[in-house]
């Protein structure tokens, strides 16, 4: 297949004009780090945006940046770092999980898949930080929505729609987004040896406390053993981890408060800034499932209080289940043995009882063409979604069938 190396917005327009007139479809990617996320597609050509890169505007005191869609996170982070700022939703790098290299992720990839790291429970998702989008619809028309200011309710909030649309609505050329000060200090409280249901209660209590917890995760023993942070990997027990961040005096105070709050829950330990960053990167990037690339990986979002029961039910049906919890229980990362009929989707999805959704993040393309990668939606929502798509991309030339088969 031909891969086109896009380096200017005009080239996007040319490519779209061609695709429309020739009735050909295109796949859209940044660096291709998440190419295997979604349903496999048959397209005439691929548009690669990695060379459409660079910071277009950055005003640290206004907490805003605008950059081209193909800019890599490494590039963006380096610029932000100079001003002690960051993307507060802590975008995960799923490249290694998906069998690719690290550090390939682009802005377009992260915003269009609305993927957020562990801090999402406090700081919001990628979509919450997206202020404006420029690009082209599948009509090959220039398209602009949002702006550069923090508060804007002028017209429909199409940024929300673009975020998480996996390139099925528009080819984005630039994003304008919110950036935030990097916390001065991080501390992680570790609680050892909790059972899943006790951990869910601990995480709930942490989140419900006045201590502004930034992230909360539960790593069963087997998963904890895969980190390269010795306190965690040598624990030989499950580890519940609670992150706080902020300025020095505040973090010290809250750390002590959380430690005394959970003193009775088991043995405690704490991680300082550097190791905290490493641990939360391991959690957000799903480092635990990188090594064995054969296994299937599911990502499940559900009400946090359901997490332990859900896992309990799953384990009764899938013997060789690996899992860990992020987002205080609201996000479960499952690893299933290969060779399960339907990749486990029947069990994984039917056990979600009080709302939520499951996405098949890693599987062979053969499986992804047979199994619904994204959670099927009800008929009314499906109909509305399809009409939205009709409005943006009437010929279905953009990433057709990447999310759902074409209706």
Helix (H) or strand (E) holding 312: helix 307-317
Residue (131 or 224) nearer to another protein, CB? 131
Using CB under 8 A, pick the residue from 42, 391, 406, 407 that binds another protein: 391
Contact status: 331 vs another protein (CB under 8 A): yes
Strand 45-48 with 26-29, pairing = parallel
Contact status: 355 vs another protein (CB under 8 A): yes
Residue (257 or 318) nearer to another protein, CB? 257
| Footprint on residues 213-232 left by another protein (CB under 8 A) | none
Residue with tokens 């027990």, as numbered in its chain: 237
Cβ atoms of 311 and 317 closer than 8 Å: no
Q: Is 108 exposed, middle or buried (0-12, 13-18, 19+ CB in 10 A)?
A: buried
Contact status: 373 vs another protein (CB under 8 A): no
Contact status: 199 vs another protein (CB under 8 A): no
Using CB under 8 A, pick the residue from 111, 143, 280, 324 that binds another protein: 143
Angstrom distance (rounded) from CA 144 to CA 156: 12
Tokens of 6: 């896009």
Angstrom distance (rounded) from CA 179 to CA 212: 19
Cβ atoms of 342 and 335 closer than 8 Å: no
HEC letters along 267-309: CEEEECHHHHHHHHHHHHCCHHHCCCCCCEEEEEECCHHHHHH
CB of 9 to another protein, least distance (A): 12
Range list of H helices, 86-144 = 107-113, 120-123, 126-129
CB of 373 to another protein, least distance (A): 11
Using CB under 8 A, pick the residue from 99, 249, 346, 407 that binds another protein: 249
| Footprint on residues 264-283 left by another protein (CB under 8 A) | none
Contact status: 82 vs another protein (CB under 8 A): no
Angstrom distance (rounded) from CA 92 to CA 118: 8
Residue (189 or 235) nearer to another protein, CB? 189
CB of 142 to another protein, least distance (A): 7
Residue (72 or 113) nearer to another protein, CB? 113
Angstrom distance (rounded) from CA 227 to CA 219: 10
Angstrom distance (rounded) from CA 291 to CA 243: 26
Strand 2-5 with 45-48, pairing = parallel
CB of 150 to another protein, least distance (A): 4
Residue (67 or 158) nearer to another protein, CB? 158
Residue (217 or 403) nearer to another protein, CB? 403
Residue (219 or 331) nearer to another protein, CB? 331
Contact status: 182 vs another protein (CB under 8 A): yes
Contact status: 368 vs another protein (CB under 8 A): no
DSSP 106: B
Contact status: 237 vs another protein (CB under 8 A): no
Residue span binding another protein (CB under 8 A) among the ranges 62-70, 215-223, 264-272, 280-288:
62-70
CB of 84 to another protein, least distance (A): 6
CB of 7 to another protein, least distance (A): 8
Using CB under 8 A, pick the residue from 74, 78, 101, 208 that binds another protein: 208
Using CB under 8 A, pick the residue from 155, 291, 294, 366 that binds another protein: 155
Torsional sign, CA 316, 318, 319, 324 = negative
219 forms bridges with which residues in the sheet?
Answer: 239
């Amino acid at each position: 297949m031909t891969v086109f190396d896009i380096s200017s917005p005009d080239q996007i327009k040319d490519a779209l004009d061609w695709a429309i007139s020739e009735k050909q479809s295109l796949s859209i990617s940044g660096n291709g780090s998440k190419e295997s996320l979604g349903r496999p597609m048959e397209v005439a050509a691929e548009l690669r945006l990695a060379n459409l890169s660079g910071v277009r505007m950055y005003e640290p005191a206004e907490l805003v940046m605008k950059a081209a869609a193909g800019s890599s996170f490494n590039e963006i982070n380096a610029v932000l770092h100079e001003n002690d700022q960051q993307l507060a939703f802590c975008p995960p790098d799923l490249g290694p999980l998906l069998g690719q290299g690290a550090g390939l992720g682009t802005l377009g990839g992260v915003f269009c898949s609305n993927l957020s790291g562990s801090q999402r429970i406090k700081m919001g998702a990628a979509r919450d930080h997206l202020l404006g989008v420029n690009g082209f619809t599948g009509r090959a028309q220039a398209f602009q929505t949002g702006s550069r200011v923090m508060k804007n309710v002028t017209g429909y909030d199409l940024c929300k729609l673009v975020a998480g649309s996996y390139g099925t609505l528009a080819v984005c050329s630039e994003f304008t987004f919110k950036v935030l000060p990097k916390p001065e200090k991080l501390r992680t409280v570790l609680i050892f040896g909790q059972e899943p249901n006790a951990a869910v209660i601990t995480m709930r209590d942490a989140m419900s406390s006045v201590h502004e917890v930034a992230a909360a995760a539960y790593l069963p023993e087997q998963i904890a053993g895969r980190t390269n942070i010795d306190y965690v990997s040598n624990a030989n027990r499950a580890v519940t981890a609670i992150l706080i961040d902020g300025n020095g005096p505040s973090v010290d105070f809250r750390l002590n408060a959380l430690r005394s709050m959970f003193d009775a829950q088991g043995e405690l330990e704490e991680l300082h800034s550097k190791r905290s960053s490493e641990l939360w990167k391991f959690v957000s990037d799903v480092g635990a499932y990188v090594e064995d690339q054969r296994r299937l990986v599911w990502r499940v979002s559900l009400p946090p209080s359901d997490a332990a029961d859900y896992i309990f039910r799953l384990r009764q049906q899938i013997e060789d289940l690996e899992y860990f919890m992020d987002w205080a229980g609201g996000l479960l990362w499952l690893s299933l043995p290969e060779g399960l009929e339907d990749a486990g989707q029947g069990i994984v999805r039917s056990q979600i009882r009080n709302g939520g959704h499951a996405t098949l993040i890693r599987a062979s393309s053969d499986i992804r063409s047979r199994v619904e990668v994204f959670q099927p939606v009800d008929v009314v929502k499906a109909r509305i979604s399809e009409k939205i798509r009709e409005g943006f991309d009437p010929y279905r030339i953009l990433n057709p069938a990447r999310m759902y088969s074409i209706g």
